[in-house]
C-alpha cells in the first residue's frame, strides 16, 4: 500500500508518521498510542473521538489523517500539565461528571474548545458547544455543572497555555 | 450516621484521574504483537437454514488465519445470559449453528491480520440459504402454523417449542376474581412497549490470547467476568481453570454486558489461530447483534373501592425475547414481582407468555422488566384516580407499600423459580412523593388546569416505582483485603464496575471500616485470577451485596489490626479504635500508633500479613423507592411533547457517595426519557433493523435534557452495608408513566404505547379530543 509521511504536532510534540492515504485520524492516533481518543461510532455521531485540530473540536473518525498535515493536534493526553490537571479535568472530578469515562475525553476537549473561545459561557452555550458528544451515563447534568465551574477559574486556565514545540507549517 | 468519615462523603472517584486524563484503561487500549482482527458474518435473513457453506476462498486469502463455521466448533446448547448457575434461561443458543434465527445471527467468523482483510474474507464465504418463513410479529408467534424457531432437538429448558413459547409464568396471591367482585370499579387497559437498545458508548469488545502457560486470557468489557469464564469453559469445552477473564475499565453496560456475546467466539478464534484476536461490535452491529429491552403487550386490570382502596390487580403480559431466550423468564418475572406489590392489594395475579420471534435478541436492561410494568400500572392508576375524582398523589399516599409490609408475590416469583418473601425494612417512599411533588409544584399546577386558547398546553403527572437490591438468595459476592508496609490496603473484589462508580463505593466502605483515608485503599476488581468470586454487576446488587462482602472482610481485617495494635499500645482491644490512618486508645491517656508502623510491626517483627476475606449474600432484596414527577408542554398542533421539568426523588438507603448516587439518577432519567419519547429500534416486516445508528435512533443529548431535580431521601436499611440499598435502576422506571400522565393532565388523552411519538399524540388528539378541552370540568370526570 502506498504511504505518505505525516508531519504533525501532537500535544506539543512534533511527530513524523507514515500513514496510508485513506487512514482516518482516529485510527492513526490510536495506532500511535493515543488511546484516550475513543471509538464510539465511527460515523461522527457520538463525539467520543473528539480531538482539537488547531484549537477546533473535530470528530477524528471523520477526518483523514492526511488533513492534519502541519497542524497542531491536542488529545486528552496532552491537556494536563504534568501532574497538574486542567481546571476542566479537575471540575469533572469534583462534580462527578465522569461516570464510565468513555465519552469523557471528548466532553473535556469540547469544553476546552468552548472555553478557549468563550471563557464565560452561559449554560445554553455550554449545552450547544457540547451537543456533539453523546453520553449514556450521566444525563449531562454534572458535565454541564463541571464546565460552568471550570469557567469560573479563568486565572488557572490562563496559566497553563503551553507553547507548542515548533513545527513546519 | 454519626462520625462517618468516608461513607456518605462526596469523594472524587478513585478511578477518576485515569478517566479525565485518557489513560489506557479500557479493553481496547492495548496493542498486542501479532493481534488479529475477528469478525462475524451476520445472517442477512431472519430465519434460514444453511444448506451449503464454503469457506475455501476466505481461508485462501492472504492474512486470514482462521475461518469458523458450525462444522468446526463444538455444539453445546447454552444461554448467553450472564446468570448464576444453573441459569434459569433456556439453553437454546450455539456458538455457531446450521440455522440462523434473526438478521444479524452468527453465520461464520474469521480472524485476519487487519479489519479490512477480515471484512474481505467475510465477503468470500459462500453461503446457500434455505430461507424459512419468519415470525417477526410477537402476536403471531403462538398462532397455529407459525414457523417453529427452535426446532432443534438438543436445546433445553424451552417451555413449549412447538408454539415458540420460551417461558410461561402464572402466579396468584389471594383470588383476583374475588377481589374484582368486591370492587366498586374495575378498569382494564392494554399497553404496548417497544425495543430500546442500551447503546453504551463503548460497544461490546473482547480481546483474547494464550498466555505463556497456554491458558486462554479473555480481556473483555463484561458485567459478569465469572459467569463468562464458566460459560466459555462450557461452550469451548475447556476447564474453567484454563481460562483467565480480565475486566478492564468498562465504558458502560446497562445490562447489555450481562451477557456473553463475543467472548466465546473470540476465544474459539484464538484457539484456532493460536494468535491474539480482537473482536468488537461496530455501532451498527451493537444495535441489533447485541441485546435490547423486551417489547411487551400488557393487559392490566385493577379493582378499587369507591374510596380508592386497591383490592385486586392483574397483569397479563405477552413479551418477545427475540430469537434466543436470554433473560426471557427472569426479566418478565420482574415485570410482575417488582411492579404489582407496589400496591397493598390482597389479590394479585400475574401471567406472562414470553415468545420467540425472528427478531434481535432481548436481554437484561437497566430496570429489568420494570419500565414496561410500571408504565402500564402507573398509567392505569392515574386513570383510576382521575375517574374517582381523586388527586393521583392522594391515591398513591393511600395505597402504596409501607414500612413493615411483606410482599408475598416475591415469595412466589423469584429468579426463574420460587423466590423469598420481601419485607420492607426501610421505606422513604412517602418522603420521596412529598419532596418531588413540592419540587414540581404539584399542588398549584394540578389545580390550575390548562386554560386559554394557546396550542401549547401544560400538565403535570407522577409515578411511583420500586426495584430490588440484588437477587434474594441467589446473588453473592466475596472480597479480600491485605495490608501493605505503608499502611495501605489492597482490596480485591470480583465486582465489576460497569462505569457507575462501584470501585469508589466499595473502596469507601473498606476505608470507613478500617479507619483509613480513601487513598490508602487500592482496589482491583473483576479479574478471575486475582480477585475472589462475585456473580457480577446486575440486579442493583453491587453496593449491597459486594459492598456487604467488603464490609465483612474489612471487619475481619480491622480485628487483626486491633490485635497488633493492642500488643503495641499495651491496651485491650475493646479500648481501641481506628481513624485517619492510625489506631488509638479510647481511654483518657491517649496513645496511638500509625497504620504504617503497625504494618511494619506485623510484617517484619511478628512475621505475618494482615489479610482476610469474606463472602456475603442476602435472603432478601430490599427495595429502593422512587417518585417521579414531570411537567410537560404539549403542542396540540404538532403533537410534540416537551418535558419542561422532571423531578426524581429516590430512596437508596444510605448514599455511600451522594454525588455518584445523584449521577445514577440523572443518567437513569435521561435513559428513561429516551425510552418514553424518542428511542426505538425499528424493524421492517422482514426483521431488518431500520435505524441502527445514532442519527436515526434518537438518544437524549446535551440540548434535549429538561430541567431535572434530583432528590435523595436517605433511609437506613438493616440489610445493607452502612444502611445502603441500591439506586442505579429504580429511577429509569418513572419517566414514561409520569410523562404519559402529565400529557393527560395537559390535553386529556391517554397514551398507552411507547415511545410517545408526536404522531401518536396528534392522532389521539384528533380521535378523542374532548369537546370541553378548555373547561376545567373535564378533570372531574
Residues B315 and B398 in one domain: yes
Q: Residue B569 in contact with residue B118, Cβ under 8 Å?
A: no
Residues B223 and B92 in one domain: yes
Residues A112 and A73 in one domain: no
Q: Do A131 and B15 touch (CB under 8 A)?
A: no
Instruction: Please give the pLDDT value at position B454.
Output: 87
Residues A9 and A74 in one domain: yes
**Among B571, B598, B617, where does a domain finish?**
B617
**Among A78, A104, A128, where does a domain finish?**
A78
Q: How far is B286 from chain A (nearest CA, A)?
A: 10
Q: What are phi and psi of B707, to 5 degrees?
A: -60, 135
Q: Residue B650 in contact with residue B584, Cβ under 8 Å?
A: no
**C-alpha B34, offset from chain centre:** 36
B116's CB contacts (< 8 A; 6+ apart) are none
B658's CB contacts (< 8 A; 6+ apart) are B8, B10, B712
Q: How far is A169 from chain B (nearest CA, A)?
A: 28
Residue by residue, what is the 3-state secondary structure of B363-401?
A: CCCCCCCHHHHHHHHHHHHHHHHHHCCCCHHHHHHHHEC
Residue B744 CB: number of other CB atoms within 10 A?
21
Any domain includes A164? no
Any domain includes A53? yes
Q: Does A60 touch chain B (CB under 8 A)?
A: no
Residues B303 and B330 in one domain: yes
Residues A15 and A70 in one domain: yes
Residues A44 and A65 in one domain: yes
Please tell me the distance from the alpha carbon of residue B630 to that of residue B708, in angstroms, as a whole number: 9
Any domain includes A166? no
Residues B509 and B632 in one domain: no
Q: Looking at residues B38-60, what average pLDDT do you find?
A: 98
Which residues of chain B are within 8 Å of residue A30 when distances are taken between CB atoms?
28
Any domain includes B541? yes
Please tell me the distance from the alpha carbon of residue B72 to that of residue B59, in angstroms, as a whole number: 13
pLDDT (tens digit per residue) in A78-92? 999 988 999 999 999
Q: Which of these, A35, A49, A32, lies nearest to B27 by C-alpha position? A: A35
Residue by residue, what is the 3-state secondary structure of B159-196?
A: CEHHHCEEEEEEEEECCHHHHHHHCCEEEEEEEECCCC
Which range of residues forms the domain containing residue B491? 476-617
Half-sphere exposure of B326 (CA within 13 A, CB side): 29
Q: Residue B541 in contact with residue B727, Cβ under 8 Å?
A: no
DSSP H/E element including B118? helix B115-124
User: What CATH number is attached to the domain comprising B50?
Assistant: 3.90.1170.50
Domain count along chain B: 3
Any domain includes B677? yes
Q: What are phi and psi of B302, to 5 degrees?
A: -135, 140
Residues A11 and A74 in one domain: yes
Does B768 have pLDDT greater than 90? no
Instruction: Please give the pLDDT value at position B451.
Output: 58
Please tell me the distance from the alpha carbon of residue B706 to that of residue B704, in angstroms, as a whole number: 6
Q: What are phi and psi of B260, to 5 degrees?
A: -95, 95
Does B619 have pLDDT greater than 70? yes
Residues B114 and B246 in one domain: yes
Does B780 have pLDDT greater than 60? no
User: What CATH number is attached to the domain comprising A70?
Assistant: 3.10.20.30
Residues B706 and B759 in one domain: yes
Residue with cell 398462532: B143
Any domain includes B688? yes
Any domain includes A155? yes
Parallel, antiparallel or unpaired: strands B310-322 and B347-356: parallel
Q: How far is A22 from chain B (nearest CA, A)?
A: 12
Any domain includes A33? yes
**Among B589, B617, B645, where does a domain finish?**
B617
Give the SS3 label for residue B148.
Answer: coil
Of B201, B665, B667, the CB nearest to A102: B201
Strand partners for B206: B220, B279
Q: Residue B290 in contact with residue B256, Cβ under 8 Å?
A: yes
Residues A92 and A57 in one domain: no
Q: At what angle do helices B392-399 and B429-440 cross, to 10 degrees?
A: 170
Domain count along chain A: 2
Any domain includes B739? yes
Q: Which three cell numbers stand for residue B304?
A: 378499587
Residue B609 CB: number of other CB atoms within 10 A?
14
Which range of residues forms the domain containing residue A125? 87-159
Instruction: Please give the pLDDT value at position B447.
Output: 86
Does B89 have pLDDT greater than 80? yes
Of A43, A77, A137, the CB nearest to B693: A43
Of A77, A131, A137, the CB nearest to B667: A137
Q: Does A84 touch chain B (CB under 8 A)?
A: no
Q: What is the DSSP letter of B724?
A: B
Does B772 have pLDDT greater than 90? no
Taking one residue from A and the other from B, the number of pairs with CB-CB distance under 8 angstroms is: 177
Residues A56 and A18 in one domain: yes
A 89-148 → B contacts, CB under 8 A: 89, 92-96, 98-105, 108, 126-128, 130-131, 133-144
Of A37, A42, A101, the CB nearest to B499: A101
**Among B617, B638, B654, where does a domain finish?**
B617
Residue B707 CB: number of other CB atoms within 10 A?
12
Q: How far is A132 from chain B (nearest CA, A)?
A: 8
User: What CATH number is attached to the domain comprising B746?
Assistant: 3.30.365.10
Q: What is the DSSP letter of B128?
A: E
Any domain includes A169? no
pLDDT (tens digit per residue) in B517-551? 999 999 999 999 999 999 999 999 999 999 999 99
Instruction: Please give the pLDDT value at position B411.
Output: 85
Q: What is the DSSP letter of B121?
A: H
Q: How far is B664 from chain A (nearest CA, A)?
A: 7
Which residues of chain B are within 8 Å of residue A99 when distances are taken between CB atoms?
252, 499-501, 663, 667
Q: Which three cell numbers stand for residue B76?
A: 453445546
Residues A20 and A63 in one domain: yes
Q: Do A100 and B659 touch (CB under 8 A)?
A: no
Which residues of chain A are within 8 Å of residue B700 when distances are taken between CB atoms?
139-140
DSSP H/E element including B503? helix B502-514
Q: Residue A103 in contact with residue A47, Cβ under 8 Å?
A: yes
Residues A65 and A95 in one domain: no
Any domain includes B225? yes
The vertex-B24 CA angle with B365 and A66, nearest 5°, equals 105
Please tell me the distance from the alpha carbon of residue B370 to that of residue B103, in angstroms, as a whole number: 27
Of A100, A131, A141, the CB nearest to B499: A100
Instruction: Please give the pLDDT value at position B3.
Output: 84
pLDDT (tens digit per residue) in B136-177? 999 999 999 999 999 999 999 999 999 999 999 999 999 999
Residues A72 and A92 in one domain: no
Chain A residue at shortest CA distance from B32: A31
Residues B101 and B225 in one domain: yes
Q: Do B667 and A94 touch (CB under 8 A)?
A: no
Residue with cell 452502612: B722
Quote the percentage of chain B above a pLDDT of 90.
94
Residues B626 and B728 in one domain: yes
Residues A107 and A72 in one domain: no
Instruction: Share the mean pLDDT of chain B.
Output: 96
Q: How far is B580 from chain A (nearest CA, A)?
A: 22
Identify from B21, B696, B731 which residue to disrupt to test chain A contact, counting A C-beta atoms within 10 A and taking the largest count.
Answer: B21
Q: Which of these, B112, B450, B375, B90, lies nearest to B269 by C-alpha position? A: B112
Any domain includes A46? yes
Which residues of chain A are within 8 Å of residue B662 when distances are taken between CB atoms?
96, 141-142
Chain A residue at shortest CA distance from B504: A99
ipTM over 0.85: yes
Residue B5 CB: number of other CB atoms within 10 A?
15
Does A116 have pLDDT greater than 60? yes
Give the SS3 label for residue A43.
Answer: coil
User: What CATH number is attached to the domain comprising A148?
Assistant: 1.10.150.120
Residues A73 and A16 in one domain: yes
Amino acid at each position: 500500500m502506498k504511504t505518505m509521511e505525516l508531519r504533525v504536532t501532537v500535544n506539543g510534540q512534533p511527530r513524523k508518521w507514515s500513514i496510508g492515504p485513506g487512514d482516518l485520524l482516529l485510527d492513526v492516533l490510536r495506532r500511535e498510542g493515543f488511546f484516550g481518543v475513543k471509538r464510539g461510532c465511527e460515523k461522527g455521531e457520538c463525539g467520543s473521538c473528539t480531538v482539537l485540530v488547531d484549537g477546533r473540536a473535530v470528530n477524528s473518525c471523520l477526518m483523514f489523517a492526511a488533513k492534519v498535515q502541519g497542524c497542531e493536534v491536542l488529545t486528552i493526553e496532552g491537556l494536563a500539565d504534568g501532574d497538574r490537571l486542567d481546571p476542566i479535568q479537575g471540575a469533572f472530578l469534583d462534580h462527578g461528571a465522569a461516570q464510565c469515562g468513555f465519552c469523557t475525553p471528548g466532553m473535556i476537549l469540547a469544553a476546552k474548545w468552548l472555553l478557549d473561545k468563550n471563557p464565560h459561557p452561559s449554560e445554553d452555550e455550554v449545552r450547544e458547544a457540547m451537543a456533539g458528544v453523546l453520553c449514556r451515563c450521566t444525563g449531562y447534568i454534572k458535565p454541564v455543572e463541571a464546565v460552568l465551574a471550570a469557567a469560573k477559574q479563568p486565572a488557572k486556565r490562563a496559566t497553563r497555555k503551553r507553547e507548542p514545540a515548533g513545527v513546519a507549517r | 450516621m454519626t462520625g462517618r468519615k468516608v461513607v456518605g462523603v462526596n469523594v472524587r472517584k478513585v478511578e477518576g484521574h485515569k478517566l479525565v486524563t485518557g489513560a489506557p484503561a479500557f479493553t481496547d487500549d492495548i496493542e498486542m504483537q501479532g493481534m488479529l482482527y475477528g469478525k462475524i458474518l451476520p445472517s442477512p435473513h431472519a430465519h434460514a437454514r444453511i444448506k451449503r457453506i464454503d469457506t475455501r476462498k476466505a481461508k485462501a486469502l492472504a492474512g486470514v488465519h482462521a475461518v469458523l463455521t458450525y462444522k468446526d466448533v463444538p455444539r453445546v446448547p447454552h444461554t448467553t445470559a450472564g446468570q448464576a448457575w444453573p441459569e434459569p434461561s433456556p439453553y437454546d443458543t450455539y456458538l455457531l449453528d446450521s440455522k440462523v434465527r434473526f438478521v444479524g445471527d452468527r453465520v461464520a467468523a474469521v480472524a485476519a491480520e487487519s479489519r479490512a482483510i477480515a471484512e474481505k474474507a467475510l465477503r468470500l464465504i459462500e453461503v446457500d440459504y434455505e430461507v424459512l418463513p419468519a415470525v417477526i410479529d410477537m402476536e403471531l408467534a403462538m398462532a397455529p402454523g407459525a414457523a417453529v424457531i427452535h426446532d432443534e432437538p438438543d436445546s433445553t429448558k424451552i417451555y413449549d417449542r412447538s408454539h415458540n413459547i420460551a417461558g410461561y409464568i402464572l402466579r396468584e396471591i389471594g383470588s383476583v376474581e374475588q377481589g374484582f367482585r368486591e370492587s366498586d370499579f374495575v378498569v382494564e387497559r392494554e399497553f404496548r412497549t417497544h425495543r430500546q437498545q442500551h447503546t453504551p458508548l463503548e460497544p461490546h469488545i473482547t480481546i483474547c490470547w494464550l498466555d505463556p502457560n497456554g491458558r486462554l486470557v479473555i480481556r473483555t468489557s463484561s458485567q459478569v467476568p465469572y459467569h463468562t469464564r464458566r460459560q466459555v469453559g462450557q461452550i469451548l469445552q475447556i476447564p474453567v481453570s484454563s481460562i483467565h477473564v480480565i475486566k478492564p475499565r468498562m465504558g458502560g453496560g446497562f445490562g447489555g454486558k450481562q451477557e456473553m456475546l463475543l467472548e466465546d467466539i473470540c476465544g474459539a478464534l484464538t484457539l484456532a489461530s493460536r494468535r491474539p484476536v480482537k473482536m468488537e461490535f461496530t455501532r451498527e452491529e451493537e444495535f441489533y447483534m447485541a441485546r435490547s429491552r423486551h417489547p411487551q403487550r400488557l393487559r392490566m386490570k385493577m379493582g378499587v373501592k369507591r374510596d380508592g382502596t386497591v383490592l385486586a390487580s392483574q397483569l397479563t403480559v405477552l413479551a418477545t425475547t427475540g430469537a434466543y431466550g436470554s433473560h426471557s423468564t427472569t426479566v418478565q418475572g420482574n415485570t410482575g414481582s417488582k411492579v404489582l406489590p407496589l400496591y397493598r392489594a390482597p389479590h394479585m395475579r400475574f401471567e406472562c407468555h414470553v415468545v420467540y420471534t425472528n427478531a434481535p435478541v432481548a436481554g437484561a436492561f437497566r430496570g429489568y422488566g420494570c419500565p414496561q410494568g410500571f408504565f402500564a400500572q402507573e398509567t392505569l392508576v392515574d386513570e383510576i384516580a382521575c375517574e374517582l375524582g381523586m388527586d393521583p398523589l392522594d391515591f398513591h399516599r393511600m395505597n402504596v407499600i409501607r414500612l413493615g409490609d411483606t410482599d408475598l408475590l416475591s415469595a412466589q416469583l423469584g429468579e426463574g423459580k420460587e423466590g423469598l418473601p420481601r419485607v420492607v425494612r426501610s421505606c422513604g417512599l412517602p418522603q420521596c412523593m412529598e419532596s418531588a411533588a413540592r419540587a414540581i409544584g404539584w399542588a398549584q399546577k394540578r389545580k390550575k388546569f390548562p386554560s386559554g386558547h394557546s396550542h401549547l398546553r401544560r400538565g403535570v403527572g407522577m409515578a411511583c416505582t420500586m426495584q430490588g437490591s440484588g437477587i434474594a438468595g441467589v446473588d453473592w459476592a466475596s472480597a479480600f483485603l491485605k495490608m501493605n508496609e505503608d499502611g495501605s490496603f489492597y482490596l480485591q473484589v470480583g465486582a465489576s464496575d460497569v462505569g457507575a462508580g462501584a470501585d469508589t463505593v466499595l473502596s469507601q466502605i473498606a476505608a470507613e471500616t478500617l479507619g483509613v483515608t480513601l487513598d490508602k485503599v487500592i482496589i482491583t476488581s473483576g479479574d478471575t485470577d486475582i480477585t475472589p468470586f462475585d456473580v457480577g454487576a446486575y440486579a442493583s446488587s453491587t453496593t449491597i451485596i459486594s459492598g456487604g462482602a467488603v464490609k465483612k472482610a474489612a471487619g475481619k481485617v480491622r480485628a487483626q489490626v486491633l490485635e497488633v495494635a493492642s500488643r503495641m499500645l499495651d491496651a485491650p482491644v475493646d479500648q481501641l479504635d481506628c481513624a485517619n490512618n492510625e489506631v488509638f486508645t479510647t481511654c483518657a491517656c491517649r496513645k496511638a500508633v500509625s497504620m504504617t508502623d503497625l504494618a511494619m510491626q506485623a510484617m517484619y517483627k511478628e512475621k505475618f500479613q494482615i489479610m482476610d476475606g469474606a463472602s456475603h449474600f442476602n435472603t432478601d432484596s430490599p427495595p429502593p423507592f422512587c417518585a417521579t414527577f414531570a411537567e410537560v408542554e404539549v403542542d396540540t398542533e404538532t403533537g410534540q411533547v416537551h418535558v419542561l421539568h422532571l423531578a426524581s426523588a429516590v430512596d437508596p438507603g444510605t448514599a455511600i457517595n451522594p454525588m455518584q448516587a445523584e449521577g445514577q439518577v440523572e443518567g437513569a432519567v435521561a435513559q428513561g426519557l429516551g425510552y418514553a419519547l424518542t428511542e426505538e429500534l425499528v424493524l421492517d416486516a422482514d426483521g431488518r433493523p431500520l435505524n441502527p445508528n445514532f442519527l436515526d435512533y434518537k438518544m437524549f443529548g446535551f440540548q434535549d435534557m429538561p430541567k431535572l431535580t434530583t432528590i435523595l431521601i436517605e433511609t437506613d436499611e438493616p440489610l445493607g452495608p452502612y444502611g445502603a440499598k441500591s439506586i442505579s435502576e429504580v429511577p429509569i422506571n418513572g419517566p414514561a408513566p409520569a410523562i404519559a400522565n402529565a400529557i393527560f393532565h395537559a390535553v386529556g388523552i391517554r397514551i398507552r404505547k411507547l415511545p410517545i411519538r408526536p404522531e401518536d399524540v396528534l392522532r389521539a388528539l384528533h380521535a378523542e379530543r374532548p369537546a370541553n378541552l378548555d373547561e376545567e370540568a373535564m378533570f372531574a370526570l
